[in-house]
Amino acid sequence: MKLKDIYKTSIKIGIKNDFRSRKLINEHLKQTKKKYDKLDKKNKALFDKERLTNPYSDTRIHFDSGKSVKKVLVGIDITVGDLLIAKELGADLVINHHPIGCALQGLDDVMQMQADILAMYGVPINIAQGLLKKRISEVARGVHASNSYVTVDAARNLGISFLNIHTPADNSVSFYLQQLIKKKDFNYVSELMDFLNQIPEYQEAARRGSAPTLYAGTLENRVGKIAITEMTGGTEGSAEIYEKLANAGIGTVVSMHQSEKNREKAEKAHINMVIASHIASDSIGMNLILDEFKQKGLEIIPAGGFIRVSRTKKNV
């Protein structure tokens, strides 16, 4: 397989599983093109042109050795050491989940989709956008100073193709859980927790010491309307959103991880906070994408915290 095809197919899967409509995604690309067109020649040369066709600024090819891909090492957080292991094991490609390189610097752009997701759950779009604006600028400043090219440079020096897939995978786990939850009729938070605990990645997370956990609310609470507002869209959103979600009729939020500041605000708003667990949730998203390539004969080596589960034969 060609690296370009793996990249393009991952984006396609990300779009298919995006909570936003195709129209909204296209609108985002149209706005980016408008900004690009307004730039002068000098700034056009500096612009990341992938943004014109790929709606996920946190997903990029970082190095392409040109070799055809048969064996891939996949991790949630790849280190330079993992790249050496990949070389030792004869992998032609390394895929990381979390954004690195220019994809880390693009994390703020992808966060804009959170506003559309919140609107889908009943929060007025103007409120969602207003609250996110401050948080997005915080994230942009937070990643600005980071040395985001350490592993990218190592992959180039080793001659190993290097790709990271972030939001397309997070979209996939969000859509997957939403579809499964939609079919159920949970009364209590405990029933939602029991359901999560049947998913193999979460079972493995439990064995590894980070099972799905309740951060706010109780198992005996009525679950109410469940929202999956925090599993995709770059990183954690605004702490002020929980009160708005509660006003919009949401009883329970399923998330991957949560800061203490956001947890306190969720508790105050009487939202049940189900933390499905971070790395296992990221793994589900990656697994759903990788199954597509596994069917085409790609050999997958799990690394860097990644919990590999295949759903090609059996569905959970």
- 210/221 with CB nearer Fe ion: 210
Both tokens assigned to 239: 């702490």
Q: Contacts with Fe ion in 179-208 (CB under 5 A)?
A: none
CB of 42 to Fe ion, least distance (A): 35
CB of 232 to Fe ion, least distance (A): 7
Q: Contacts with Fe ion in 225-284 (CB under 5 A)?
A: 282
Both tokens assigned to 40: 């002068």
Q: CA 280, CA 5: separation in Å to the nearest integer?
A: 26
CB of 143 to Fe ion, least distance (A): 14
- 116/282 with CB nearer Fe ion: 282
- 118/269 with CB nearer Fe ion: 118
CB of 169 to Fe ion, least distance (A): 6
Stated as kind and residue range, the H or E segment containing 284 is: helix 278-294
Q: CA 304, CA 173: separation in Å to the nearest integer?
A: 19
Task: Tell me the window of 5-13, 58-66, 165-173, 190-198 that interacts with Fe ion (CB under 5 A).
Answer: 165-173
Which residues, other chains included, contact 124 with Cβ-Cβ below 8 Å and sequence gap of 6+? none
List the one residue from 18, 92, 108, 170 that touches Fe ion (CB under 5 A). Answer: 170
Q: Which phi-psi region, left, alpha or beta, contains residue 275 (left: φ > 0; alpha: ψ -120 to 50)?
A: beta
User: Judged by CB under 5 A, how many residues of this single chain contact Fe ion?
Assistant: 2
Which residues, other chains included, contact 257 with Cβ-Cβ below 8 Å and sequence gap of 6+? 236, 275, 277, 278
Task: Tell me the window of 84-92, 119-127, 162-170, 243-251 that interacts with Fe ion (CB under 5 A).
Answer: 162-170
CB of 75 to Fe ion, least distance (A): 12
Task: Tell me the window of 3-11, 34-42, 61-69, 169-177 that interacts with Fe ion (CB under 5 A).
Answer: 169-177
SS3 state at 253: strand
CB of 258 to Fe ion, least distance (A): 12
- 161/232 with CB nearer Fe ion: 232
Both tokens assigned to 36: 């690009």
Q: Contacts with Fe ion in 91-130 (CB under 5 A)?
A: none
Instruction: Annotate 19-82 with three-state secondary structure.
Output: CCCHHHHHHHHHHHHHHHHHCCHHHHHHCCHHHHCCCCCCCEEEECCCCCCCEEEEECCCCHHH
Residues forming beta bridges with residue 214, ordered by sequence position? 274
CB of 54 to Fe ion, least distance (A): 17
- 76/223 with CB nearer Fe ion: 76
Binding site for Fe ion (CB under 5 A): 170, 282
